[in-house]
Amino acid sequence: MTTYQRKQFLELVQQFRLATEANREALASKYAALTQQQASHGAPLQSVLGFCMEEAGSKERAEAMFNYVLSRCDIVYWPLPSVEPSLRHKREVKQAAYKHAMVPAKLTKHILLLCGTNPHDIDGIREMFTLAAMGEQYPIFVLSEPGRIAKALIQFA
């Protein structure tokens, strides 16, 4: 985890009251170990929000976490994330998508629609835009559930 990711992680953990002050670091270590393992296997990295939702303890609480994030930002919710067909064979796009838990959902002459779970992941948006946009498309970012993003990521070749 980078320092920025770690800061975000600890903020989310605190917001969702997932751990006591003493256990926050343990939870951060658990997340770091998990994502390291995923990276070594070339698997999509678990998003911070997805991890928190899994740690929630119940489905209702996990849902409430996502709704909380949604209600706290102006970003539009998108229920149908899928990988733009013309980008499914692009290796670099896939790697960035796996790393940031973000999919390029639509690419036209004028629009690049990116769908992710982390409204603060500016680096991810920038990287995905650089790799996926072919011209000067307008970038638009929308939010979806970690589970739906994970399913969409499988569409990459």
Partner 1 sequence: MNAQDIPLPPQTLSEVYRTIAQRHEIDPAKLPKDKIEEDEFMAALAYNKGSPLVESSDLTEEMVSMCQQSSRELDPKGMAEYKFVPMTIRGQTLLVISSCPWDPMMVDVISGYFPQCSQVRFAIASPRTLEHLLAKLQGEAPAPVAGYTPAQPVASSRPLMPPAQSSPAPPAPSAPPKAPLPPPPTPKYSPPSKPAEAAKQATAAEDGLLSPEDTTYLANLWLQEANKLLARKRITKP
Of 106, 117, 125, 146, the residue at the interface with partner 1 (CB under 8 A) is: 106
Compare residues 45 and 125 and give the one whose CB is closer to partner 1: 125
Q: Establish if 39 lies at the interface with partner 1 (CB under 8 A).
A: no
- Options 21-29, 54-62, 73-81, 94-102: segment touching partner 1 (CB under 8 A): 73-81
Two structure tokens written together for 100 = 């940031």
Burial class from Cβ neighbours inside 10 Å (0-12, 13-18, 19+) for residue 50 reads buried
Residue with token string 């994030």: 69
Instruction: Evaluate whether 94 touches 120 at the Cβ level (below 8 Å).
Output: no
Compare residues 41 and 110 and give the one whose CB is closer to partner 1. Answer: 110
Stretch that binds partner 1, among 9-17, 32-40, 42-50, 65-73 (CB under 8 A): 65-73
Mark residues 77-96: x for contact with partner 1 by CB under 8 A, - for none.
xxxx----------------
Task: Note whether 120 and 145 are within 8 A (CB).
Answer: no
d(C-alpha 45, C-alpha 61), whole Å:
22
How far apart are CB 108 and partner 1 at their closest, in Å? Answer: 7
What the block records as the tokens of 37 is 């393992």
Residue 66 lies near partner 1 (rule: CB under 8 A): yes
Question: Of the ranges 15-23, 30-38, 45-53, 106-114, which one interacts with partner 1 (CB under 8 A)?
Answer: 106-114
How many whole angstroms separate alpha carbon 101 and alpha carbon 8?
A: 15
